[in-house]
Chains A and B, each alone.
Chain A
Amino acid sequence: MNEHHAIAPTLSSQDIEPTGIPVQGGHISALTSESRSNVEKGYASLAIEVIGVTKEFDGGAVRALNGMDLRVERGEFIAIMGPSGCGKSTLLHLLAALDSPTSGTIRVEGQDLSHLPDPSRYRRQTIGLVFQLHNLLPRLSALANIEVAMMGSHRPHRERTVWARQLLSELDLADRERRHPPQLSGGERQRVAIARALANDPPVLLVDEPTGNLDSDASANVLALFARLQREYGVTTVMVTHDPAVAQAAGRILQMRDGRIGDPIGA
């Protein structure tokens, strides 16, 4: 089965822009094929590299990360576990360039986050963020919530709509595109949030407690989706959670303690 068509099952000639570029996205096609290649090569290169990162708050009174090291291969799906306040979310924020480390180096897809010329562009093109509280805009439809993430990209407006529809379709939300977040179930909202995170075709997904507000069935669906994204498309996924059952969905589980990564718990 063609994996590319699995995420865009009905890419037809009508979906081809006059330029000849498939509206489903030249970028995602390139990404997924590259990522597949990485999967086949056994994660040949690093997607994320964290070297001796320290993050202090309140002028050094609180040290959330303490000389942390982490290496994540391309196409890997890892879960980072730990109790509240151990620095999981801080790590995620640093990886998303939403905050900067006190010291140390972070590289994501070869980009040194301390020297990003345009952090917005990095957040738009390199990573997809999934929040615990989905953070969808309530006055916009599911479709529009995904399209909003693509504003500022070079995709033409019509292409953005087609691609957002394809993502919704792939996540079994095709019949929900006009619904607004308050009209969706918790699981549906989180899937829309995942679709939004994938909208710009990022090679890395950063996921923060994705099932925190979901029932067990919805949680299982969402976790299966992450596993599928990693397995079929080679999307590098870093998920932080405090729930061991949720972490089981990942290929590698790391325990955080005292602002550092401990030994892997399982694979």
Chain B
Amino acid sequence: MSTIVLLLSNIWAKKARSFGLAFAVALAVMTVVVLTVVSSGLESSAAAILKIGKSDFTVAQKNVSDVLFSYLDTHQLAEVRATKGVANAVGALIETERINAANPLFLEIGLPLDELTPFGVHVLAGRPYSANATHEVMLGWRAAEDMGLHVGDGFYANGTKNTIVGIYSTGISFGDLGAIFPLSAVQAYNRVPGAVTLVFVKVAPGYRIGEVEKRITYAHPELTTIRTVTQFGRADRNLVFLKAAATGSTILAVVIGAIVVGNTMMLSLFERTREFGLLRAIGWTRTRVVSLLLGEGMVLAVVGAAVGVGLSYLVTSILQALPQLAGVLHSNYTSEAFWRGLYTGLGMTILGTLYPALRAGFLAPLQALSHE
């Protein structure tokens, strides 16, 4: 009999307890994975806005609670455009609106007609809107497909009925799920004349992106630049709070899980005291006894982690299907989520098992053998 067979037979001998422990690990892992994939989904959705413009970086107002609350006026936009090294800077007013139950956060972008091409917009059907049109809209091809709309159809948004004059593609799926309006129309509807939410900057050849970013933030301390998803928190504080909450919940799940695992393992220790005493009496080293208990915990942790990841799929699917959350929650299964789940399972099991395992290893064989 190998050590692993002994370990598995020990686990199998106490099926109910082993199942309970693995389930506790699974619940903790599920919680962590769900929080991770949901926050990651929200982050990637939010950050997807940055990718639409196909720019080198984006300029936003610093430290706003939500990046869509960022506000840059005409003067700031002009100064960004005039910054040395900036080849092109497109100011866009971005908002979200509830269109229907399936589209509770529909993306709406206000862009000047002459900025459509620099922004990476390709008209697939129909035509671009007129420069100062007030009731014209271009629909992203994914959105049009999802809603079954075509050129010439009406589209109720921005407080009015608009006519779909064109279907576009940006090459970015998030952008193709929205609509683009003339900038002036969106500014008028939101009563923010001359304002834009974000400025999408393309750096001129021969200039380093970092240097241009520095020039802008030096000249405008109230602004920040975002180049990567991880920099998104510079502008969007909500995302920072959300990620902090996810991290805090992970730590909490590990601690609670470790307590549950520790409690179960302590029960196991008391039940198996004679066994450990016997093993020590017939020549097992302390290390081997500790390893046995840790090994049992690790096997259950891995099983629990696998079940937890499976459960997380189920839970996120259910959450996404809920009417209240449809279109808001987007799960983003990354390798980080899986690793975090595995680390959580192993971490809480090691934390919970270490003390009982050490107690088992350091039992005095004689006292342990006389344990009732």
Contact = CB atoms under 8 A, between A and B. Distances in A.
Interface of A: 93, 96, 98-99, 118, 120-121, 123-125, 129, 131, 135, 137, 139-140, 143-144, 147-149, 151-152, 157, 160-161, 196-197, 200
Contacts of B285: 118, 120-121, 152
B237 interface: no
Contacts of A149: 282-283
Contacts of B281: 96, 98, 123, 129, 135
B369 interface: yes
Interface string B176-206: 0000000000000000000000000000000
Interface string B248-288: 00000000000000000000000000110011111111101
6 contacts: A120-B284, A123-B281, A123-B283, A135-B278, A151-B288, A157-B1
Contacts of B282: 123-124, 129, 148-149, 196-197
Contacts of A96: 281
Interface majority SS (helix, strand, loop, mixed), chain B:
helix
Interface of B: 1-3, 6, 9-10, 13, 274-275, 278-286, 288, 365-366, 369
Given A125-B283, A152-B284, A157 B274 contact: no
A121 B2 contact: no
B283 A144 contact: no
Nearest to B286: A120
B366 A121 contact: no
B9 to A, nearest CB: 6
Contacts of A200: 283
B278 to A, nearest CB: 5
A151 B5 CA distance: 12
A164 to B, nearest CB: 9
B151 to A, nearest CB: 73
Most buried by A among B283, B365, B369: B283
B1 A137 contact: no
A147 B1 contact: yes
Nearest to A126: B283
B280 A120 contact: yes
Contacts of A144: 1, 6, 9
A103 B365 CA distance: 21
A98 B2 contact: no
Given A137-B275, A148-B1, A161-B1, A124 B283 contact: yes
B274 A135 contact: yes
B286 A148 contact: no
B348 to A, nearest CB: 27
B280 A151 contact: no
Contacts of A140: 1, 6, 9
B7 to A, nearest CB: 11
A143 B366 CA distance: 25
A125 B282 CA distance: 9
B77 to A, nearest CB: 74
Nearest to B279: A148
Contacts of A123: 280-283
Nearest to B3: A151
Contacts of B369: 131, 135
A53 B345 CA distance: 51
Contacts of A137: 275, 278
Contacts of A196: 282
Nearest to A128: B282
Nearest to B274: A135
Given A137-B275, A143-B1, A161-B1, A148 B6 contact: yes
A230 B286 CA distance: 32
A14 B114 CA distance: 87
A160 B1 CA distance: 8
Most buried by B among A149, A151, A157: A151
A120 B278 CA distance: 12
Contacts of B280: 120, 123
Most buried by B among A120, A131, A157: A120
Nearest 8 interchain pairs by C-beta: A124-B283, A139-B13, A120-B285, A123-B283, A147-B1, A144-B1, A149-B282, A98-B366
